[in-house]
Amino acid sequence: MIYLDNAATTFPKPERVYTALETANRELSFNAGRGSYKAARAASAIIDDTKNRLLSLFHATGYADIVFTPSVTHALNQVLNGLDLTGNSVIYVSPYEHNAVARTVYQLSVNSGASVKMLPLTKDLQIDLEKAKYQFSINSPSVVILNALSNVTGYILPVAEIFLMAKEYGAITVLDAAQAAGLIDLDMPALNADVLCFAGHKTLMGPFGIGGFLIKHGITLKKVLTGGTGSASLTLDMPEEAPGRYEASSTNVVAIAGLNASLKGLDINEHRKTLRELTEYLLEALNGIPSVNLMGTFDTDKTLGIVSFVVEGYQSDEVGIILDDEYDIAVRTGYHCAPYIHDYLDDKPYHGTIRIGIGQFNTKEDIDALISAIKSL
């Protein structure tokens, strides 16, 4: 199989990840933080080491605390539902947000009365910074939530510029780094991010079952999730300080061990270089097929790892089935859990897009096979 659905989850993982998962299942499957015996302490040690590696990765050592969750969707829900919102609050999102954000802020608006506003786009589907600046001046932001990289088009959003503008109004800034962590160098302080949410199983090259968020020192969220923390067990209230304030339940030590192994060998520069070369190669090849319409921003400096397109005469799911059945090529088709952006892409007559998610282990030969298959349609 030629796997080109890496935007959903990266596959395969580095071999060291599979080895670490097997070892952890046999030797580290203990309840960290709940026991004083050696095995429990070893489990706690790998959790602490993984947190320190992630803090370093995001340039956030001494700047933020880190909280583990079962997924980035859980992290975003816990963070956004932990915000102190009222009917006067104004939440800004980009048209590129995933449903982990879009559905959550919709529910927040229903429950709190807060208004949700969309950042404007230019004709080539990039964030219009001048209009956004004006928008902020008319309706000052309480919260600004952005993803770092679109899971539909691969567009790299101008996070630093938008968050800097948002901070002029004292807004809380939340970064969804699900598609970018481990691929783009995300400097949390330089980006003016108050919260950064990540997924372990995407570009961090770890397994399913582990995600989390980094929260800047001095930012406090409401207690959304409660339960056992392994500390102060006779007290009914959750701990006041992070990360214990937000980490209820037993931690997935096995998944953390897999993520730890991935982080030990992660080379962001090499990862980005590989995906940059393959993205440019794919865009150039697709652009040469008359029946293909590319979707999104075509500035190769602002597009990375993900490419969406449609084929004239076909619905996108039909192309996906043909690629799978006849060529053993795995791609994703449809709307990709991102409801806003398809109003701008105008892809609904095709039932969404054909999305190519390029991974660290893909090759030009994989792209050539895809292009040959598309040309044969």
8 Å CB contact between 5 and 330: yes
Q: Does domain 2-10+267-375 have CATH number 3.30.2000.10?
A: no
| Tokens linked to 317 | 């799911």
pLDDT digits (tens, 9 = 90+) for 277-314: 999 999 999 999 999 999 998 788 899 999 999 999 99
8 Å CB contact between 98 and 176: yes
* Confidence at residue 223, expressed as pLDDT on a 0 to 100 scale: 87
| Tokens linked to 107 | 């529910």
* Confidence at residue 203, expressed as pLDDT on a 0 to 100 scale: 98
Q: Which residues partner with 308 through β-bridges? A: 295, 355
**DSSP, residue by residue, 8-71:** TS--SPPHHHHHHHHHHHHHT-S-TTS--SHHHHHHHHHHHHHHHHHHHHTT-TTTEEEEEESS
- What gap in Å lies between CA 234 and CA 226, rounded to an integer? 14
- What gap in Å lies between CA 175 and CA 64, rounded to an integer? 14
* Confidence at residue 28, expressed as pLDDT on a 0 to 100 scale: 87
Instruction: Please return the burial class of 16, using the count of CB atoms within 10 Å of its CB with bins 0-12, 13-18 and 19+.
Output: middle
Which class does domain 15-264 fall in? alpha beta
Q: How would you classify residue 42: left for phi > 0, otherwise alpha for psi between -120 and 50, otherwise beta?
A: alpha
pLDDT digits (tens, 9 = 90+) for 79-99: 999 999 999 999 999 999 999
| Tokens linked to 185 | 């160098």
List, for the chain, all residue ranges whose pLDDT scores fall below the cut of 70: 33-35, 230-231
Sorted by sequence, the CB contacts under 8 Å of residue 317 that are 6+ apart come out as: 333, 334, 351, 352
- What gap in Å lies between CA 18 and CA 28, rounded to an integer? 14
Show me where the domains of the chain are located: 2-10+267-375, 15-264
